[in-house]
Chain A
Amino acid sequence: MTQAEQERHFNDKIAREIKIEPNDWMPDEYRQTLVRQISQHAHSEIVGMLPEGNWITRAPNLRRKAVLLAKVQDEAGHGLYLYSAVETLGTDREQTIDDLHSGKAKYSSIFNYPALTWADIGAIGWLVDGAAIMNQVALCRTSYGPYARAMVKICKEESFHQRQGYESLIKLCNGTPQQKAMAQDAMNRFWWPALMMFGPSDADSTHSDQSIKWKIKRFTNDELRQSFVDATVPQAEILGLTIPDPNLKWNEERGHYDFSEINWDEFWQVVKGNGPCNKERLEARIKAKEDGLWVREAANAFAKKRALKKTA
C-alpha cells in the first residue's frame, strides 16, 4: 500500500469506530500524540501516589488506613497499565520514566499541591479522582486499542476511589465544628486545582482539535470541566460544603452551572514547574528510582542464579 492509501485506510477506520492496534499503520503525529498523552497519564498515576502515600501512616483508624493503602496501590497499577500501553507504541519504558525525571514529560498539575490535613485525603478522593474519572470514562472510547482497554480497567477500579473520599468527608461534615471546618478548608483549596485538571480552555488548547478528529479525545476540556461541575455541585450540597466561587449558579437556559473564570496564571505557573510541590515531587520520584536500584540488581542476580540451577 502507498502512504496515501494507508492514510485513507487509517482515517476510514477512525470514521467507522474501528480501534487502531499497535502494529497498524498510523500517522507519525498520531503516534506522538498518544505517546505524549498516555505517558503523561501514566506519570500522573505514579506521582499521584505521593500526596496520599504521605498520609498512610497517619490515617485516623485501621479501616481508613487499609482503604488508603488499597487506593494508592491501585494508582501504582494504573501507572503500570499505562506504561505498558505506551510501550506498545514502540517507546522504551525506561526512557519514558527518565523523561519524567528530567522534566521533559509532564504530569497532572494537581499533584503539585500539598495534602496538608486528613480532610485533604477525602477531598482528593472525591474531587481529584472524581475529575479524573470524568476524563477517563470518556477515554474508554478512545481510538487506540491498548489505551482504551487500560481505561476500561482503570475506570472499574476508580469508582471506589471517589466513593471512599466522599464517605470520609461525610464523616467529617457530620462531626465536630472543627472537623467540618477542616473539610471546608480542604474544599476551598482543592476546588480550583480540580477544575484545572481538565487542562487549558478549548480556545488555548494546542492539541485539542486534532485529538478530537482522531478520536483520541472524545470531548473537549471545557465540555468535561462543565460535566464535572454539574455533577459535583449537588454532591457538595449534600455534604453541606460551600463551593468557593461566588459566581457559581444554575443557568436554566443553558441547563448547566455557570462558574467563574479559572485563574489561568496560576495554572500555567504550576505547569511550568512553579507550583508548591513540583520540586519535591520530582525529587521523590528520582530518589525512588535510585534507592530501588539495588532491588533491581538483586532481582537480576537472583534470576541468573535460578537460570543456572535449572541448566545444571
Chain B
Amino acid sequence: MSTSQWPLWEVFIRSKQGLNHKHVGSLRAPDATLALENARDVYTRRSEGISIWVVESAHIHATDIDEAASFFEPSDTKIYRHPTFYEVPDGVKHM
C-alpha cells in the first residue's frame, strides 16, 4: 500500500503560550494520532512548540486567488477605518 493513499495534513504550531498556532508545513499520515506524532518529530525537534494542531488538507477551505482583488476590495476603499484619516489639532495629546 502506498503512502500517497495517506491523507495530507497541514501542521500548525503554537510556539509559546500567548501566541497563535501558525502554519509550518504539511505531512502525510494515516490518521490524526500519527499525524501529530510525525509533526512532533518533523517540526519540533528543537522545542519549537508547546501545542500542535493537524488538519486534513482536504478540510481547509480557502479564498480563490483569482477573485482576491474583488473579494478584498470592500476593505481597501474604507480609508476612514484607519486613525491616520482623521485630523487632530497639534496640541492634542494622548490620542
Contact = CB atoms under 8 A, between A and B. Distances in A.
Q: How large is the interface on B (under 10, 10 to 19, 20 to 34, 35 or more residues)?
A: 20 to 34
Interface in A266-312: 293, 296-297, 299-300, 302-303, 306-307
A302 B66 CA distance: 41
A87 B25 CA distance: 11
Interface string B38-77: 0001110110000000000000001001100000000000
Contact of B3 (A81, A93, A307): A93
Contacts, number: 60
B71 to A, nearest CB: 13
Nearest to A22: B65
Interface of A: 1, 21, 23-25, 70, 73-74, 77, 80-81, 84-85, 87-88, 92-95, 146, 149-150, 153, 157, 293, 296-297, 299-300, 302-303, 306-307
Contact of A296 (B3, B24, B66): B3
Given A94-B3, A300-B1, 15 more contacts: A21-B65, A24-B65, A77-B43, A77-B45, A85-B25, A92-B4, A93-B3, A93-B4, A95-B4, A293-B1, A296-B1, A296-B3, A302-B31, A303-B30, A307-B31
A74 B62 contact: no
11 contacts: A74-B45, A81-B42, A85-B25, A87-B26, A92-B4, A94-B2, A94-B3, A149-B25, A296-B2, A303-B30, A303-B34
Residues of A contacting B: mostly: helix
